[in-house]
Amino acid sequence: MKLRALRLSNVRKFAGRTASLTGIGDGITVLSEANEFGKSTFFDALHALFFERYAANGKSVQMLQPRAGGSVEVSADVETPEGLFRVEKRWLASRRARVLRLSGAGAQEEVIALDDEAERWLAALIGSGREGPAGLLWVRQGQLGLEPDSRAERDRLTETRRDLLSSVAGEIDAMTGGRRMDRVMRRCEEALEALITRPGRPRGPWKDALDDAAELARTLEEVEAQCTALAGFLAERAEAERQLQRLDDPDAKARREEALRQAQAAMDLGERHDTQLREARQAAEIARLEAGGARAELDRLIATRTRLRAAQAALAEAEATATAATAAAAACDEAQDAARARLDTARSALDTARGRLDAASRRLRARKAREDLTRLTRLLDQADTQQRRRDSARARAKTAVATPAWLDRVAAADAAVGEARAALRARSASARIRYSGPARALLEGAELPGDTDVPLAATAVFDLPGLGTLTLRSGEQSAAGALSHTLSEAEATLAALLAEAGAGTPAEARAAGQRLAEDLNEARLAEAMLKALAPEGLDQLRAARTEAEERAEGTGEETQGDTPLAELEAALDTARGAELAAREALDTAAAARARAREQAAADSAARESAQRDFDRAAEAAGAEAEHDARQAGAARSLALAEAAEARARERCAALTRAAPDLETLRADLTRAGQAIESVATRRARLSETLLRATERIRAMADGAIEERRDELRGRLEEAQARAARLEGEVRALQRLRAALESTRSAARDAYFGPVRDELKPLLNILHAEADLAFDSDSLLPAALSRGATEEAFDTLSGGTQEQIAILTRLAFARLFARQGRPLPIVLDDALVYSDDSRIVKMFTALTRVAQGQQILVFSCRQLAFQDLGGARPVIEVEEMA
């Protein structure tokens, strides 16, 4: 679409007039006039034509109306691919909208749409509503100057700038939903926040509904349990009543009482029969006892007679036995006497054998004592010898001087002498002579040995036979003198030591030491032998010999030709055996005699006892002449008693056979009684149950729990339905939120990319390598990148912000043009903040865009916009017809 002409009738300052702007070019068209010329009126009227419905009566329309009133009319000639059209709108009075097709220079007009259809035609032409993309191509609000003179003017300019940016944002908003989307989203969020928490948990009415449902369910469960209990109590009471009814049935009660009565009667009969039976049994027992008594009397009589006869026989037998026993006892006395005589003989022989053996033993002990004496005497002699030897050796050793210590001292003194001599020899001159003849030299009067080094004193005088005397003097007299002195002392010490032992030389001293050692050894040896001979000491040995002497003295001399001791011992054993046998025979005979005497005494006692028995039996039996008569009487009594017993037994048997089972009768009676008692107990229990159940039923009935249960069920149902409805509401709101977020995000993504692509070359006209970033929330330009630096948009100068806002619009316009929807860009005093150099660059950007885009520029800055170029039509004003 391209604008070709504009006409305003009765609009603001053009009251009663028509202002026309024709000759609008394809590219840039500049309407640069002074203030109050009517540029903004043209701008507003044109905006209203496209974006205010003819039926509108709002402020934006009313602002077009002149003070004189009247209808406001605006028209525009627009060129589209379909041809040239005129769009007309009249507001406020005689409202109208028309679209006319123009055929060449507006000569022929054809109305193609009216009113609402005209509005739809127009909407289709510009794409969408006022908030849509087309709207962003309108940049309004002219400015008086670059530098505001007053605070109010500065504020107004700031507001203007904000408007400018906001309008950009508004256009972007239109695509992404913008502030309206924000409000809708906020409403959605508010609605959701009323129902769920941020993590998505129920809150508010939804939570209330869920809580209500949960609480009601819990309460309902309790109440239903109470209802169940109530039903149980009702059933329990009904059952108790049924049972009570059965228990109280008169027929059943009569049956129970009749059963008890019959059982009692049967029990009474049974007990009477039992009494009779017991009495019959007692009678039978008495008869049995009486028969027993008769039988016992008869038996007693028979037994008495029998015992008498037996006693008589026993007495005779006892008398015979006693006589025989007396004879046997006499024979035993004789046998005992014979045995005693044999024992005396044996004892005499034993004494003889024992005496012979004792004598032989004494002789043997005497011989042994003599042998001991001899041996002990020899030992004692040997021991005495050894003792003397020991004592002698010890005495010598005790007086000896040449002890090992003394010998050590002698050896030390000898060594000292040797050392002194050696030292003296070392210091002294010596002389060695080799004799060649028999003549011998004398030294200090002694012959000087040949071929031997002889030490010399400090002054040595040699007698040299045949030669004279040779005196030698050593030069070191003092040293030799000291050594000589030492030697002398050593020799004196040695000599003193040797003198203690009477030894002349150390060798003699050592010999004395040797002797001392030998004495000591001998003493030890003698001591050892003494110990061996008399281990317990000499005194003990001497005591043993004395004891042996005493024993030897106490025994006689051994008789030659004695019987050997063994034989004597054998004879003694034989005598002992004989004595023992005799003694045993005597014991046996004595025992036999005692037994015989005892038997005789016993038999005598038996005879006496038999006599007494016989006497008693005879006494018991009484007169023998009455025996038979008494026995016959007893037999008759027995027969009578036995007959009575038989009769009694028969009666007992008959009663026993007819006797009822008392236990059974008692059980019947007990059962019948218990049945009645049980009924009474059960009745009491049932009455109690009934009472208890009734109390509980009434307590629950007073609480109207069933009514409450039904009410709770309803309320629960309502709460659950409410919760479900609110859950659905939450789902719907969440779905709406998701849809809004998704589409807004998609719209932004789809929108910003192409816009930035279009914007970048335009931006580079002003700033090389510049790029613009948009804030995704505010949708406003957020930052300008130039090279490596990035500046927040609100820190940019007003001019730069203004330029970016206009360039953004140009970018939008190019985007629409590329999409086949070229729309004119209308700028109303847009570049009020731009300096001269920037405004030229902006002109370049506008010119670049204008190559494919119609741009209509309204400006009061005639001088500044001279360089913009483009068409320059003139507004023509004429009075309305």
Nearer to another protein, 193 or 711 (CB): 711
Task: Please say which residue, 135 or 513, places its beta carbon nearer to another protein.
Answer: 135
Neighbours of 95 (CB within 10 A): 17
C-beta pairs of 570-574 under 8 Å, 24+ apart in sequence: 571/353, 571/356, 571/357, 572/350, 572/353, 572/354, 572/356, 572/357, 574/353
Minimum CB separation from another protein for residue 172, in Å? 10
* Residue 121 C-beta: closest distance to another protein, Å: 15
Which CB, 56 or 565, lies closer to another protein? 56
Token output for 154: 């500065």
Q: Which is nearer to another protein, 609 or 694 (CB)?
A: 694
CB of 118 to another protein, least distance (A): 18
State residue 25 phi and psi, 5-degree precision. -80, 180
Instruction: Give, in degrees to the nearest 5, the angle at Cα 805 between 800 and 808.
Output: 120
Q: How far is the CB of 714 from another protein (least distance, A)?
A: 2
Q: Is 321 exposed, middle or buried (0-12, 13-18, 19+ CB in 10 A)?
A: middle
Q: How many residues comprise the chain?
A: 881
Angle between helices 250-399 and 538-554 (to 10 degrees): 100
Tokens 């012959």 label which residue? Answer: 447
Which tokens go with 238? 């009904």
In angstroms, give the least distance from the CB of 838 to another protein.
33
CA–CA distance, 752 with 168 (Å, rounded to integer): 12
Query: CA 626, 631, 636 angle in degrees (round to 5)?
Result: 130
Shortest reach from residue 702's CB to another protein, in Å: 6
Least distance CB 232 / another protein (angstroms): 12
Q: Please check whether residue 328 is in contact with residue 600, taking contact to mean a CB–CB distance below 8 angstroms.
A: yes
Nearer to another protein, 319 or 706 (CB): 706
Find the shortest distance in angstroms from Cβ 241 to another protein.
8
Q: How many Å apart are CA 561 and CA 363, to the nearest integer?
A: 12
Nearest distance in Å: CB 739, another protein:
4
Alpha carbon distance 32, 18 (integer Å): 19
For residue 93, give both structure tokens. Answer: 């009075």
Least gap, CB of 808 to another protein (angstroms) = 17
Quick one: 233 or 614, whose CB is closer to another protein? 233
Specify the residue, 120 or 261, whose C-beta has the smaller distance to another protein: 120
Nearer to another protein, 527 or 711 (CB): 711
CB of 256 to another protein, least distance (A): 28
* Beta-ladder partners of 108: 103
Burial class (CB in 10 A: 0-12, 13-18, 19+), 821: middle
Is the Cβ of residue 322 or residue 712 nearer to another protein in the bound state?
Answer: 712
Q: How far is the CB of 740 from another protein (least distance, A)?
A: 5
Q: Go through 828-839 and write b for each residue having 16 or more CB atoms within 10 A of its CB, e for each that does not.
A: bbbbbbbeeebb
Helices (H), 767-835: 798-818
Cβ 176 to another protein, closest distance in Å?
A: 5
d(CA 633, CA 703): 105
Q: Please, which contacts does 474-481 make with residues 24 or more away whose CB atoms are closer than 8 Å?
A: 474/428, 474/429, 476/427, 479/427, 480/424, 480/427, 480/428
By beta-carbon proximity to another protein, the closer residue of 396 and 722 is: 722
The smaller minimum CB distance to another protein, of residues 486 and 734, is found at 734
The residue among 134 and 157 lying less far from another protein, judged by its C-beta, is 134
The CB-of-727 to another protein minimum distance in angstroms stands at 10
Give the DSSP per-residue string, 196-251: B-TTS-B-HHHHHHHHHHHHHHHHHHHHHHHHHHHHHHHHHHHHHHHHHHHHT-HH
Residues in contact with another protein by the rule CB under 8 A:
128-129, 131-132, 173-178, 180-181, 183-184, 187-188, 191, 230-231, 234, 237-238, 694, 697-698, 700-708, 710-718, 721, 728-729, 731-733, 735-736, 739-740, 742-744, 746-748
Closest to another protein by CB, 242 vs 388, is 242
Among residues 230 and 410, whose Cβ is nearest to another protein?
230
> Are 700 and 229 spatial neighbours (Cβ–Cβ below 8 Å)?
yes
d(CA 789, CA 783): 10
CB 333, CB 593: distance < 8 Å: yes
Look at strands 72-80 and 83-91 and give their pairing. Answer: antiparallel
Closest CB 196 distance from another protein, rounded Å: 15
**Least separation, in Å, of the C-beta of 711 and another protein?**
3
Give, for 557, the enclosing helix (H) or strand (E): none
CB of 717 to another protein, least distance (A): 5
Q: Which residues, 6 or more positions from 784, have their beta carbon under 8 angstroms from its beta carbon? A: 767, 770, 771, 772, 773, 790, 791, 793, 796, 800, 804
Smallest distance from another protein to CB 724, Å: 11
Give dist(CA 650, CA 671) in Å, integer: 35
* Structure-block tokens of residue 321: 């036995």
Query: DSSP strand E in 48-128: where?
Result: 72-80, 83-91, 96-103, 108-114
- DSSP notation for 131-193: TSGGGGGEE----S-SS-SSHHHHHHHHHHHHHHHHHHHHHHHHHH-HHHHHHHHHHHHHHHH
Q: Which is nearer to another protein, 341 or 746 (CB)?
A: 746
* Residue 597 neighbours by CB under 8 Å, 6+ apart: 329, 332
Taking alpha carbons only, the member of 128, 138, 139 closest to residue 175 is 128
Instruction: Choose between 238 and 528: whose C-beta lies nearer to another protein.
Output: 238
Closer by beta carbon to another protein, 246 or else 725: 725
83: β partners:
80
Residue closer to another protein by CB (options 189, 527) is: 189
